[in-house]
Amino acid sequence: MHRTLRLLPFAAADGPTNMADDDVMLDAAAGGVASLRFYTWTEPTVSLGYFQPAAVRAEVPGLSELPWVRRATGGAAIVHHHELTYALALPAGKDWQGDEPWVCRFHHLVRDVLADFGVKSRAVVCGQEQKLGEVLCFLDQTPGDLVIDGSKVAGSAQRKRRGALLQHGSVLLRRSEYAPMLPGINDLAGREAVTPALLAGRLAAALAADLGCEVMSSDWTADERARIPEVRADVYADPAWNEKR
C-alpha cells in the first residue's frame, strides 16, 4: 500500500503557536493524514508537561523569567532554546504505528543519524534509568531516552486522540544559559557537529526509510491555517489552560 508522510514547513514560532500547530496535526492524523514537522522557538521558552504544577518553574533558577506554555503531552519541563523540536502525527492502526514504541523507534533514528555525523549516543534501557532532578525533562532519564556520556540529549512525549498518535520531542543541540546543567550534542561532541536544519533533513529521510513511505513536502491546508489561531487562543494562550495545575 502506498503511503505518504506530509512534511510540513520548518518554522519558528512562539510557544502557544507551536503547541497549537501540533494539536492540529493530531486532528489531521485522526482524519487519516500522517504529518511530520520540525521547528524551533522564536524566543527561549519553557514547556511544562500536562500534569506539572505551574509553580515548579520557580524551583529551577532562571525558569520563572521565561515565557512558558503547557503541553497537551505528559512528561517534565523543557527549556526550548538551543535545540530542535519535532512533531510526528500518525493515523490510527498498525500500518502506521507498528509494534515498537515510538519513543524508542524515533530515538533510534536520532541515534543512527548522529552516528553518521560521527557522534556516538545510546538509548537508555530498562534498569539504567536515572532521575537527576524533579522539574526538567532532561534530568529524568527513562527507557528509550537518548544519552551521550551520561547526559540526556533527546526526550519525547505522546498524546493520543481517536487512536491517532502525536509524538513530539526535543533534541538538545547546545547548552542554554537558562539550563546550564544540560549540555547538548555539540557541547558533548566538542564541535559543531549538527545544526537544526541539517539534522531535520537527515531525520526526515531516515523516518521515511523506516516507515517505508514517501515524504512529500507540503503546507498546511486552508482549514488548518484557520484552525491553528483558534486552538492557540482557546487553549495554549489561555491562562486558564496554563495555570490549570
Tens-place pLDDT, residues 21-36:
999 999 999 999 999 9
Marked catalytic residue, from 104, 126, 137, 213: 137
The C-alpha atoms of residue 48 and residue 176 are separated, in whole angstroms, by 17
Give the chain's domains with CATH numbers: 4-242 (3.30.930.10)
Q: What is the pTM of this model?
A: 0.95
pLDDT computed for residue 143 by the predictor: 86
pLDDT at 126 over 70: no
List, for residues 76-113, the tens digit of each pLDDT value. 999 999 999 999 999 999 999 999 999 999 999 999 99
213 in active site: no
Percent of the chain with pLDDT over 70: 97
List, for residues 169-185, the tens digit of each pLDDT value. 999 999 999 999 999 99
pLDDT band at 130 (very low <50, low <70, confident <90, very high): confident
pLDDT band at 131 (very low <50, low <70, confident <90, very high): confident
pLDDT computed for residue 176 by the predictor: 97
The values of phi and psi at residue 98, to 5°, are: 65, -160
pLDDT band at 242 (very low <50, low <70, confident <90, very high): very high
Q: Which three cell numbers stand for residue 76?
A: 517534565
